[in-house]
Structures are given as structure tokens and as C-alpha cells.
Amino acid sequence: MKVWNIPDTSNNVDVPEEVDDDPLILITPSGVSLRDVTLGNVIVTDLDGEKMEGDGEPSSETGMHLEIYRKREDVEAIVHTHPPYATGFSFTDKKIPRFEGFGEIRAPYMAEIEYAVPGSIDLVESASDGLIKEDVLLLRDHGVVTLGPDIFEAVLLAEFTESSAKTGFVIEVLGRK
């Protein structure tokens, strides 16, 4: 799967996998654009984040991903991106509206958490707590995390989130009626 619309190297995607009854995580390597990720260059870690296989280092956000899996047993894929519109919203006091089209609308705006340093234990804790009842979370001054029952749904939700942010931006520019 190629996520081509977000080409920088600070994005990451992972999925849990079980090999010989050992739970493992397949995560994108640090410093590699999502458009260049293949099964041949993913990093395999255990549930403690220790690298088991692969060249390079796992994402600096591996701890956040692992903690989300600990708190959400229903999640089978995590996508963490920094798309321009959604990330732009994260640097303002404006909220990304929720639109029909992807799940139940339980709140008028997408959930968000306060800024925490990328890779920090504060981000691990606040993001994993923020995603206990949400499948998408805006990280203040940082980016977006989406969850899914598989990689396709998590990527689709990431794309829908960015599309919602674009629509929200247009609404802000043109004004509400």
C-alpha cells in the first residue's frame, strides 16, 4: 500500500502481527517516506519496542503506538501523519469539523490533545488516553493519529481526516452561512 499524498519522512504506520505465537509490531523505519515503505524495509519490534528485524531504526513514535495497542485491543493498525491541512488546524484555535461519511458523529469536532514533545512519555500517555474512545486524534502543534481494524481502514480514516480539514479550511475562509 502506498500513501502518496504525504511524502515527508516523519510519518509512520504500523500493524501488529503474530509469528510463532509471538506478538510483534511491523512499523515503518525512521527517516523513510511512506511512499518508499515496502515489506522489505519495515522494522519488526516486540511489544516492548525492542527491534527484532530490519535495517535502520523504528519510528521515534513506536512507544506511542505500543501504548495505543495496550489500551485498544480492537485496533489492528495505526497511522500517524502530518498532513498540511489537519496539521495546520493543530497550530490554531480552530477545530476540524466532523462530517458524515466515516462512522458515527459523536461530537461536532475531532478530538485533540494538548502539545507534547514528539517521542516523549507525555505524548505516549496523552495520545493513548485520548484514543481510548476515539479513532482519530489531532495532536496539538504536531499532526494526526488514526486507528483502524486493518491498515486499509486506518489509512482511509487518515485520508478522510485530511479531507475534512480541507473542507473545514474552506468553510473558515468562505464563512458559514
Q: Which residues are catalytic?
A: 61
Distance between CA atoms of residues 162 and 23, nearest Å: 31
Return all residues near 158 (Cβ < 8 A) that are at least 6 apart.
3, 79, 81, 83, 144, 146
Quickly tell me which residue has 475562509 as its cell. 173
Facing residues of 27 across strands? 14, 43
Q: What angle do CA 174, 156, 41 make, to 5 degrees?
A: 125
